[in-house]
């Protein structure tokens, strides 16, 4: 089975498993999604969803966020990883959106990535899920599984994104991004994973990955 055939079979399995792909971060619009994705760095989506009701109750718009004290933002998100940096970035984000974009979240990649605290992955998620623009954001689950399944060299997330975009039709990128994340969380832990029992890894994992990830036997 070549790489293209494997990709097609994986896409069919993921579609059967996850026909619906709701965004796991609670949000109401592009601005709240952008903030939630920023907050999710080194933190679980569950934790982010626990703090955003308070945060968005206080600052539901970019203008409101720009007018908040960093200390107040920090209180709202203090349980999250990197909270002090994230609090500063949220206020600066609100200010930049107001000053440079009329308070609206821009859709183009360059403008998004120029915002405080926004990297390529965050920008890609917002473009895909808020605006419906084809993108293939690569998080740790996607990066790991693309390598495990032999869909990418796995050397870095840039290469993984490029490889996946070349393998899958553009109109499937936004859906597959979430489907692979859902599958990774439900079936594929980073460690202690039984590849043989996994519905996709069981047949798609490369021999190299099987050797690397199989439990070592005691001498």
> Which residues are identified as catalytic?
121, 139
Instruction: Return d(Cα 12, Cα 44) in angstroms, integer.
Output: 27
Question: In angstroms, what CA-CA distances link 161 with 63, 127, 151, 164?
Answer: 34, 15, 10, 5
Residues whose CB falls within 8 Å of the CB of residue 40, separated by 6 or more in sequence, listed in order = 25, 48
Burial class (CB in 10 A: 0-12, 13-18, 19+), 164: buried
Nearest alpha carbon to residue 33 among 42, 24, 43: 24
Instruction: Return d(Cα 25, Cα 49) in angstroms, integer.
Output: 6
CB burial string 40-57: b at 16+ within 10 A, e below: bbebebeebbebbeebbe
């Amino acid at each position: 089975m070549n790489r293209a055939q494997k990709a097609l079979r994986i896409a069919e399995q993921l579609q059967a498993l996850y026909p619906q792909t709701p965004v796991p971060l609670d949000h109401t619009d592009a601005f709240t999604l952008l903030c939630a994705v920023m907050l999710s760095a080194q933190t679980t989506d569950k934790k982010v969803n626990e703090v955003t009701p308070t945060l968005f109750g206080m600052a539901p718009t970019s203008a409101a966020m720009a007018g908040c004290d960093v200390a107040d933002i920090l209180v709202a998100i203090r349980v999250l990883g990197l909270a002090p940096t994230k609090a500063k970035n949220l206020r600066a984000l609100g200010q930049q959106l107001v000053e440079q974009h009329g308070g609206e979240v821009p859709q183009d990649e360059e403008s998004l990535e120029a915002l405080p605290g926004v990297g390529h992955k965050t920008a890609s998620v917002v473009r895909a899920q808020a605006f419906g623009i084809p993108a293939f954001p690569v998080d740790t689950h996607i990066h790991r599984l693309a390598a495990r399944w032999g869909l990418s060299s796995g050397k870095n997330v840039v290469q993984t994104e490029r490889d996946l975009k070349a393998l899958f039709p553009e109109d499937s990128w936004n859906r597959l991004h979430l489907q692979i994340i859902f599958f990774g969380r439900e079936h594929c832990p980073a460690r202690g994973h039984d590849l043989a029992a996994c519905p996709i890894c069981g047949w798609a994992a490369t021999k190299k990955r099987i050797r690397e990830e199989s439990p070592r036997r005691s001498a």
